[in-house]
Amino acid sequence: MKMLIAANWKMHGAMDWIKKPVHFDTVLPAKDRKAIDVLICPPALYLAAMVEPAMDNNVFIGAQDCHAADEGAHTGDISAKQIAETGARYVINGHSERRANGETDANVKAKAEAALRHALTPIICVGETLDQRESGEAQAVVAKQLSGSLPEVEGKSFVVAYEPVWAIGTGKTATPSDIADMHNFIRTIVGPDTRILYGGSVKPANAAAIFAVETVNGALIGGAGLDMYSLADIAQAAL
């Protein structure tokens, strides 16, 4: 299956960043990356402005979250229906930063099902903390998150992103063996056709080793996805 290289911009950016997908294409032209999919998930207010220039340069655009409801009195939220109307194609659900703020598996599942209702592809994030890993609970934690978070919608595709919370912005690094063990475990749950991304401090320096793991089908990238040269280096490693 095609690798998916997904940049999560989090709460970074300015209006002139809408030009970045065009810049990315000058660094790594679309004709040279047909074997992979590239996705940028900017803050919500840039979605509509970014979709057309991004798609013109063979870059997908996605959102960082959505509400489970299509509309209603949910101040500050954005619905999957509204995201789809911008032309975006993906949405991240259950990112570790949102889970840390109280988002539950049931919340993630409801959001993913909303995304699928509106023809968006949810990227469902799971992962354990350092305490959970060191106490031998990593697989049990991830299995529980998957059981509670995966959408119950037949015939629709989703993506899973494994984010070891202990390897995000901490200076700690998951080894290729760590990644392979967890991705192989996730594969037994989601089956052979679901893309499983790795999302733990992916950088140009470690991307090739991560992508060499057979069950890694791409990456969910944080800080290294803000700069188009850095993102292109990671994408090149996937090629």
**Long-range CB contacts for residues 194-197, cutoff 8 Å, separation at least 24:** 194/157, 194/158, 194/159, 194/160, 195/1, 195/2, 195/4, 195/159, 195/160, 196/159, 196/160, 196/161, 196/162, 197/4, 197/6, 197/123, 197/159, 197/160, 197/161, 197/162
Q: H or E stretch including 6?
A: strand 3-8
Of 226, 99, 224, 98, the C-alpha closest to 169 is 224
Q: Residue 83: what are its φ and ψ, rounded to 5°? A: -60, -45
Catalytic pick from 97, 128, 163, 183? 163
- Catalytic, 12? Answer no
Residue 113 known to be catalytic: no
User: For residue 4, what are the β-bridge partners?
Assistant: 37, 218
Active-site residue identified among 67, 95, 128, 183: 95
* Residues noted as catalytic: 95, 163
